[in-house]
């Protein structure tokens, strides 16, 4: 079912498939196989539970493969437009106190930031596409400062930084429609929008964002100052749905030798975090398979 509801691929794979990076896709050649797997799974569930325990409405899953093949990814069709954007709107709300006022202010900031980013790159503004298909920073953090190490690592990335006055600090980055919020690590135990994954030196690594940075006159939409977790371990072997990392990122600090990465390198996937003793289990809320 997860594969028939669409999968998000890496940037290189999306370019090779000629689809927009960050968007969901499904390979119709595999749909008949996935359809049979869903039905087989329902049969196993029916045989594992007492008679009448399975909700009769579950038979709707048997139609998913057929209509995905003839129509499209069904999640695009089964909600009205205003319902599909609810998740995006929830990300804009940071407090339950006067939600309407806070949402109105946050939407205005988000749209203004995306508009300025598109103007900076000379792209015609489209309100239906701008927030989802670009990378930009929003919500300036005036109480944060730049450390000497961050300034040095910015210069090591090739960014021409004259002094700290040319660097602005932001709290939120919108990366292909997914919002990451800096400084949340340690405040939430499960879903934390500061945690991210990216590919460096040919392998996936994990970290959490301390702050987002923007440099005057730089061509990139922004940078992230990050703290790294330990090297990832894969308890399921070749099935890399789940990753275990340690909180001690000393080894990756030595290997990467930088706490600064461009926000365009961050994978646009939410990360679910689950404590496991002294380690953490990470799972991306998106697809992993490659379309062959």
- State the pLDDT at residue 123: 55
Is 277 inside any structural domain? Answer: yes
The rounded distance, in Å, linking the Cα atoms of 137 and 158 is: 20
Residues 154 and 270 in one domain: yes
Rounded to an integer, the average pLDDT of 190-200 is 80
Residue 110 pLDDT exceeds 60? yes
Co-location of 66 and 139 in the same domain:
no
Q: pLDDT tens digits for 27-55?
A: 888 888 988 988 888 888 878 877 667 67
Q: Residue 207: is its pLDDT beyond 80?
A: yes
Residue finishing a domain among 76, 99, 122: 76
Q: How many CA atoms lie within 13 A of 26 on its CB side?
A: 25
Query: Residue 144: inside a domain, yes or no?
Result: yes
145 and 280 assigned to the same domain: yes
Mean pLDDT of the chain: 79
Euclidean distance between CA atoms 33 and 188, whole angstroms: 39
* Position with higher pLDDT, 92 vs 82: 92
Burial of 199 (0-12, 13-18, 19+ CB in 10 A): middle
Instruction: For residue 246, give the nearest of 281, 222, 219 by alpha carbon.
Output: 281
Residue 129: pLDDT over 70: no
Determine how many CB atoms are found less than 10 A away from the CB of residue 70. Answer: 9
In a domain, 177, yes or no: yes
What is the distance, to the nearest Å, from the Cα of residue 176 to the centroid of all Cα atoms in its chain? 8
Mean pLDDT to the nearest integer, 178-205: 80
Mean per-residue pLDDT for 136-164? 84
Residues 144 and 262 in one domain: yes
When pLDDT is averaged across residues 110-137 and rounded to a whole number, the result is 62
Same domain, 26 and 140: no
Task: List the CATH number of the domain containing 158.
Answer: 2.30.30
pLDDT at 71 over 70: yes
Q: What is residue 119's predicted lDDT score, i.e. its pLDDT?
A: 67
Residue 113 lies in a domain: no
| Number of structural domains in the chain | 2
**Domain that residue 262 falls in:** 135-284
Q: Nearest Cα to 138, choosing from 178, 98, 106, 90?
A: 106
Q: Is the pLDDT of residue 95 over 70?
A: no
Cα distance between the two ends of the chain: 19
| % of the chain exceeding 70 in pLDDT | 81
Q: Final residue of a domain: which of 52, 76, 100? A: 76
Q: Within this chain, do residues 142 and 40 fall inside the same structural domain, yes or no? A: no
Query: 47 and 185: one domain?
Result: no
Please report whether residue 30 resides in a domain.
yes
pLDDT of 276 > 70? The answer is yes
Considering the domain architecture, whether residues 157 and 253 belong to the same structural domain is answered as yes
For residues 149 and 226, membership in a common domain is answered with: yes
Structure token pair of residue 128? 């239906």
Tell me which of 39-53, 68-82, 84-98, 160-174 is least confident.
84-98
Q: How far apart are CA 172 and CA 211, in angstroms?
A: 8
User: Which of the listed residues 34, 55, 76 is the one where a domain comes to its end?
Assistant: 76
pTM of the model: 0.57
In a domain, 261, yes or no: yes
Residue 48 lies in a domain: yes
Q: Residue 103 falls within a domain, yes or no?
A: no
pLDDT tens for 11-24 read 778 778 777 777 78
Residues 139, 261, single domain; the answer is yes
Shared-domain flag, residues 12 and 145: no
Which residue would you say has higher pLDDT here, 191 or 181? 181
| 83 pLDDT more than 50 | yes
* Half-sphere CA count of 10, side-chain side, radius 13 A: 13
Whether residues 178 and 280 share a domain: the answer is yes
């Amino acid at each position: 079912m997860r594969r028939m509801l669409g999968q998000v691929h890496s940037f290189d794979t999306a370019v090779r498939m000629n689809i927009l990076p960050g968007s969901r896709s499904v390979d119709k050649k595999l749909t008949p196989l996935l359809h049979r797997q869903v039905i087989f799974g329902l049969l196993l569930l029916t045989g594992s539970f007492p008679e009448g325990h399975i909700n009769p409405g579950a038979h709707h899953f048997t139609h998913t493969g057929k209509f995905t093949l003839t129509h499209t990814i069904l999640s695009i069709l089964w909600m009205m437009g205003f319902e599909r954007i609810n998740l995006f709107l929830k990300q804009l709300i940071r407090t339950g106190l006067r939600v309407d006022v806070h949402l109105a202010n946050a939407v205005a900031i988000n749209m203004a930031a995306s508009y300025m980013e598109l103007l900076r790159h000379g792209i015609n503004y489209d309100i239906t596409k701008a927030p989802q298909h670009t990378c930009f920073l929003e919500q300036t953090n005036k109480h944060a400062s730049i450390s000497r190490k961050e300034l040095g690592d910015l210069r090591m990335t090739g960014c021409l930084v004259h002094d700290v006055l040319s660097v602005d600090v932001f709290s939120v980055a919108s990366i292909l429609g997914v919002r990451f919020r800096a400084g949340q690590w340690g405040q939430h135990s499960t879903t934390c929008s500061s945690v991210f994954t990216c590919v460096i030196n040919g392998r996936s690594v994990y970290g959490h964002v301390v702050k987002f940075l923007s440099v005057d006159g730089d061509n990139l939409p922004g940078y992230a100052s990050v703290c790294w977790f330990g090297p990832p371990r894969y308890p399921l072997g070749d099935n890399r749905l789940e990753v275990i990392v340690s909180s001690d990122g000393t080894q990756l600090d030595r290997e990467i030798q930088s706490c600064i990465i461009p926000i365009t390198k961050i994978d646009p996937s939410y990360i679910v975090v689950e404590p496991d003793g002294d380690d953490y289990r990470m799972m991306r809320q998106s697809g992993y398979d490659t379309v062959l």
